[in-house]
Amino acid sequence: MTRLTISAPRIFDGTRILRDHALVLSDDRIEALLPAADAGTPDVICEGLISPGFLDLQINGGGGLMVGAETDLAALTQICEIHRDLGCAAVLPTLITDTPETTARVIASGIEAATTRVPGFLGLHLEGPHLDPRRKGAHHPRLIRTMGEDDLARLCEAARALPVLMVTLAPESVTPDQISTLAKAGAVVSIGHSDCDYETACAAYAAGARCATHLFNAMSQLGHRAPGLAGAVLAGDAPFAGLIADGIHVHPAAMRTALGARQDGIFLVTDCMAFAGTQAREMTLNGRVIRREAGRLTLPDGTLAGADLRMDAAISTLVTRLGVAPERALAMATSIPARAVGVEDRLGSIAPGRPVSLSLLDDDYRLSATWRDGGWRAANPA
């Protein structure tokens, strides 16, 4: 057994930032988290802040690969590896609206990834195709469709076979009974790409939905007489909601409003594309060109197509630009998403008995290194 003691000025355990503490590691498990004075002479002394590895519940790709028609076990393995170097302990590779054949292929590859225990693979996020074309965003309108019985059966089977399955759908394209059936099968149902009114959103949450996909983006907005889906989230009817905190998808004032309205339940997502971990400037999505420029990913008509965002940059944006408490911003990338998908017993926090999955951040909350194979590994700078 290899036993190591690591000290750092600050350690975030998933809830609190502890000062002058140390971690005791035994092989790939955390043995103890205790005051540095009680830990003896450390084997490794760190500068900065140690955090649990991040959880990203919405990644469309990475390392030049998109989740799509060509996705197989090797592709999922490579995408997960890229995001591990970006500080993520686990991710949900995300398929946006596509054909039934592609959806079935990605599900089969995801089940294989789960069976073979691909490092960093948490499950799948199927964002569509059961959406509202009025709020399609970058999703191809010809591929959006209502949910049929075959679709429902496929999703329920996937929910039972995968460790986590998140499904983004619009209430306009499904029935409350279908939402309930999905939730009972174990799927995390998230409402998104929807123009539904407040009452319809609340009915979806009453039926078993528990999340909202990228708050404010591609959804009915808050009005004083028509609160919409955004209003349902801010009022607390949605237990959880993802937020793209790049300062582009959501204005900083809107983020402050959401975080003021909700003291818990909002977590960070990157919604990143194949660009993640690369210097690429252009890619294609369902035959349409996406360009990367000045922190934006856009289709030729200017529609935002995913985000050019890393999780550490999202944390830094909240802390340094919006003045969010570091503990809260860090929780939004670790313990809150873990609770959203029911894996808080093993991911999102630092505690005795947990697997060792650590990220090292500098004073600006940018990723310096990740703990891999018994030592710190420099973060991917892309």
Quickly count: other Cβ atoms within 10 Å of residue 353's Cβ. Answer: 11
Cα(191)–Cα(343) distance, integer angstroms: 20
The answer regarding whether domain 54-340 maps to CATH 3.20.20.140 reads yes
CATH superfamily for domain 3-51+349-378: Urease, subunit C, domain 1 (2.30.40.10)
Give the alpha-carbon dihedral of 180, 182, 186, 192, to 10 degrees. -100
pLDDT of residue 285: 80
Catalytic residue among 56, 151, 271, 308: 271
pLDDT at 27 over 90: no
Mean pLDDT of the chain, nearest integer: 96
Whether 382 shows a pLDDT value over 90: the answer reads no
Residue 373: the pLDDT is 83
Q: Can you give the pLDDT at residue 167?
A: 98
- Residues 126/97, Cβ–Cβ less than 8 Å: no
pLDDT tens by residue, 175-223: 999 999 999 999 999 999 999 999 999 999 999 999 999 999 999 999 9
Mean pLDDT, residues 234-244 taken together: 98
| pLDDT tens per residue, range 60-113 | 999 999 999 999 999 999 999 999 999 999 999 999 999 999 999 999 999 999
The domains of the chain are located at 3-51+349-378, 54-340
Task: Give pLDDT, residue 194.
Answer: 98
- Whole-number pLDDT of residue 374: 86
Is residue 28 part of the annotated active site? The answer reads: no
Q: 30-67 pLDDT, tens per residue?
A: 999 999 999 889 999 999 999 999 999 999 999 999 99
Higher-confidence position of 288 and 67: 67
**What confidence score (pLDDT) does residue 1 get?**
64
Supply the pTM of this predicted model: 0.96
pLDDT, residue 287, reads 82
Give the residue ranges of DSSP H helices in the chain.
36-39, 73-84, 100-115, 149-161, 176-185, 198-207, 228-234, 252-261, 311-316, 326-331, 335-340
* β partners of residue 241: 212, 266
Helices and strands, counts by H and E, the chain: 11, 21
